[in-house]
Amino acid sequence: MELCVISTTTTVKAINPFLPSITRRVSSRLFQSDSVLQFGGRLKRPISSPLEMSCVSRNFGFLGDSMSHGGDFRLFAAASPAVETSVKEDKLPADLKVTETVQANSSVKLSVEVPAIVCEDCYQRVLTEFMKLSKVPGFRPKTRVPENIIVGFVGRQYVLRATVESILKRTLPHAMESVTGRALKDSIQIVSSFPDMEKAYSKLKTLSYEVVVDVVPELKWNPEDGYKNMKVVVELGDEIDAKKACERQLRQKYKSLGALKIVTERGLQVGDLAVVDISATTIDEDGSTGQAIPDAESKGFHFDTEEGNRLLPGFLDAIIGIRAGESKSFTLVFPESWKQESLRGQRAQFTVDCKELFYRDLPTLDDSLADKLLPGCTTLKEVEETLAKRCQEMEQEAKEQATDNAILEQIRKMVEVEIPRSLFEEQGRQFYGARLLEIQGNMKLNEDQLASLSSQKAVNEFLETQRESITNIIKQNIAVGDIFKRENLEFSTDELVKEVENSISEFKKHKQEFDEERVKDQVQEILEGAKVLEWLKDRAEIQYITR
């Protein structure tokens, strides 16, 4: 139920379960937000050379069959018999004409014109390859077969399609040379219609196509170097105060030792536990009833009145005195600081049905309860001291995390950058995958539930609803990476190797699959983030206020 306020001392989760222990807390600050749990992730590595682009082109073909309806297409496992080589090894008979046009969201469109002589060369290569692979009656294997015979044997349409594929695969690495070092991996998209290209080549014996590729986004700081001497205000909730947290924990442990008994001859009072059904609707400006507020509704909600200050202000006061079986309706206004922006300042009509009412029959609080309150303790004083120490550590961690979050949020606001579509989708899908793992860990989902949550529709809905959060986190990550490079920060190779080894050992221990390169990238980013945060805090003027 959304009426409850989330404590800032919640358990810290890392990018993945097996990140290095010493950097786990730092990683969680960099890559965890209130609204979305993430794996985090380095900015996609740019394609560093034409040779690498050639490898991508060689290992992937083009989905011809699915293009009968037109539209753009991406790369898939190759079916064409064409054999390609690297850019350096494969010099084209003539130069391509490539026109580069800057697009929105850090992408570039390349308009590629392939000369007829290059198309003819690809056509001959395709024929040669078909000759090697085909067993044409009347001809020995791998011998030269007349063009008309091999085309007739294979099928003109298949030869045409294979030729267009060969032209695309062979020329794409050359066309991409202008964006080498800038193009992001796995972001290349040929937007020209495959059927249209087939028709054009069939008639003109030449080929033109358009490619859209995401490039490394350009970052602009406003103000320039504004991150170097920041003034940061960190808001701390009183729930992280060590003394108050210690008192709450001791009270909760003490209450757990009491027996719940039914209240019969009075109404609700502070200290009781009520089982209630809650419904709520908005109130329009003209006073009429608006829409239901699903996030404020709950059935069989166990309401501990001692935690009333963590609910919507005025809620507890409105139901004091209610008896089991009674119903109360009242109007409240969501405060401007409410977590859900859409509800801030909203008037709402609440209806509470009290189903059951209990009070706690608590034992006398003395040293005899010490071991039950905290196993291993013999006196109340020892319990209090142990809890106080734990809470002080939690307070310090929460304070550090709040500081890092405030710094990251401030540098995010200083940067202007267009997020590439492929980067947004990749990061968003990783975040959703982590969310799904978290859900699966908290509750066992059956196959139907898992299939529903894993559907493309569910992922797309997540990307759309969390667009702002995902975008903001990517901006933070890009800003952190830029500072690391600008200020020539570094960490030791030994530190990186040690943390990668620790992570891999954890994966193996839990029998989890892993990509060593991916683990290395994540660990490196965490170490970079830790260095940047340390560097920023050393130079920032930090003020703490309690809200």
Q: Residue 501: what pLDDT?
A: 92
Which residue has 């001859």 as its token pair? 265
Q: Residue 436: what pLDDT?
A: 85
pLDDT higher than threshold 60 for residue 81 = no
Q: Residue 196: what pLDDT?
A: 94
pLDDT in tens, 273-319: 999 999 999 999 888 888 998 888 888 999 999 887 778 889 999 99
Q: How far apart are CA 462 and CA 379, in angstroms?
A: 50
Asked if the domains at 259-361 and 389-546 fall in one CATH topology, the answer is: no
| Confidence class for position 259, pLDDT limits 50, 70, 90 | very high
pLDDT higher than threshold 50 for residue 73 = no
Q: Are 304 and 324 in contact (CB under 8 A)?
A: no
pLDDT in tens, 394-438: 999 999 999 999 999 999 999 999 999 999 998 899 888 888 888
Question: What is the domain partition of the chain in residue ranges?
Answer: 97-216, 259-361, 389-546
DSSP state of 76: E
Q: Residue 206: what pLDDT?
A: 93
Is the domain spanning 259-361 CATH 3.90.1150.10? The answer is no
Average pLDDT over residues 509-531: 87
More confident residue, 14 or 138: 138
* Pick from 71-85, 153-167, 525-539: least confident: 71-85
| Confidence class for position 175, pLDDT limits 50, 70, 90 | very high
Average pLDDT over residues 94-110: 94
352 Cβ contact partners less than 8 Å away, ≥ 6 residues apart: 276, 277, 278, 318, 319, 322, 327, 328, 329
* Pick from 231-245, 348-362, 461-475, 479-493: least confident: 231-245
Q: How far apart are CA 318 and CA 289, in angstroms?
A: 19
Residue 90 has phi, psi (to 5 degrees) of -105, 85
Which residue has 């960190």 as its token pair? 234
Average pLDDT over residues 132-138: 84
SS (H, E, C) 457-483: HHHHHHHHHCHHHHHHHHHHHHHHHHH
Q: Residue 171: what pLDDT?
A: 95
pLDDT higher than threshold 60 for residue 38 = no
Q: Residue 231: what pLDDT?
A: 94
| Confidence class for position 86, pLDDT limits 50, 70, 90 | low
Q: Residue 85: what pLDDT?
A: 45
Q: How far apart are CA 527 and CA 508, in angstroms?
A: 22
pLDDT in tens, 336-349: 888 888 888 999 99
* Pick from 65-74, 131-140, 375-384: least confident: 65-74
Q: Residue 45: what pLDDT?
A: 52
Options 3.90.550, 1.10.287, 1.10.3120, 1.20.1270; CATH of 389-546: 1.10.3120
* Pick from 11-25, 137-151, 517-531: least confident: 11-25
* Pick from 67-81, 233-247, 353-367: least confident: 67-81
Which CATH superfamily groups domain 97-216?
A: Trigger factor ribosome-binding domain (3.30.70.1050)
Average pLDDT over residues 459-487: 92
Q: Are 545 and 235 in contact (CB under 8 A)?
A: yes
